[in-house]
Amino acid sequence: MNLGIKNKTALVTGSSRGIGKSCAISLSKEGANVVICGRDKKTLTESLSELKNINENTKGIVCDITDENGLSNVVSEINDKLGNIDILVNNVGGSVKKEGIEGTDISDMNKAFDLNLTPTIKLMQLVIPNMKSQRWGRIINISSVYGRELGGNLSYMTAKAALNSITKHSAIDLAKHGILINAVAPGPVSHPGGSWEKFQNQNSSEVVQNFIDENLPIGKFGWPEPIGDLVTFLASENSGFLTGTCINVDGGWSRSIN
């Protein structure tokens, strides 16, 4: 299937490992010129080497995507090297404090929002003008099933729910300009260095199997590749009638119908 994104320029944040790296690999296989970024130079260099075997035009930028002041420079550098960003995948996020309402200070809530929302909003604001001028763009925000249903801690759940709202509002606002914006909500996806790998390593096999039996009808933890492939479809020409939605990739974890 030709997804129509060969030579499109794509930025994937938090892409030196895990879900972000899988998104970058899948996009590269479809011929997109991908820019990956991460804070750890060693990990980024290793991932960049792997991706260049797929597409030699892949670029890597060592940066802290949560540094709002540096994001303009990142986008300018990409524009200079590869051209305007056609596809943006916002994958940076995470938990700050694993507490409920009584144990979550306002400062902790603000930190969670700064991590999960600030770079996403800023990058969207930076790439949208060029997308509007060319009347084509794709933005995919990596959310979580915990942004749609009860689960996780208060600050993370709230931040991801806010991300889903930003996705919906922006998608409706910009659809007339040929910009499609969607979110993907992973469930328990295991990858090296990720929280679900840590969960499996830190608990007995009985605890882990009990979690799977109670929460994952598919019978196992997820893996990054299906998310990367879905993101690539959403970034493609083939997704032309799909915007403002959030798609679960969770092995049947979620229980709601809507």
Residues designated as active site: 156
Q: Using CA atoms, how far apart are residues 175 and 78, in angstroms rounded to an integer?
A: 24
Q: Using CA atoms, how far apart are residues 27 and 25, in angstroms rounded to an integer?
A: 6
Q: Using CA atoms, how far apart are residues 170 and 179, in angstroms rounded to an integer?
A: 9
Return the number of other C-beta atoms located less than 10 Å from residue 29's C-beta: 16
Q: Using CA atoms, how far apart are residues 93 and 26, in angstroms rounded to an integer?
A: 20
Q: Using CA atoms, how far apart are residues 127 and 144, in angstroms rounded to an integer?
A: 23
Sheet arrangement for strand 9-12: 59-62, 33-38, 9-12, 87-90, 137-142, 179-186, 246-249
Torsion of CA 166, 15, 125, 9, to 10 degrees: -120
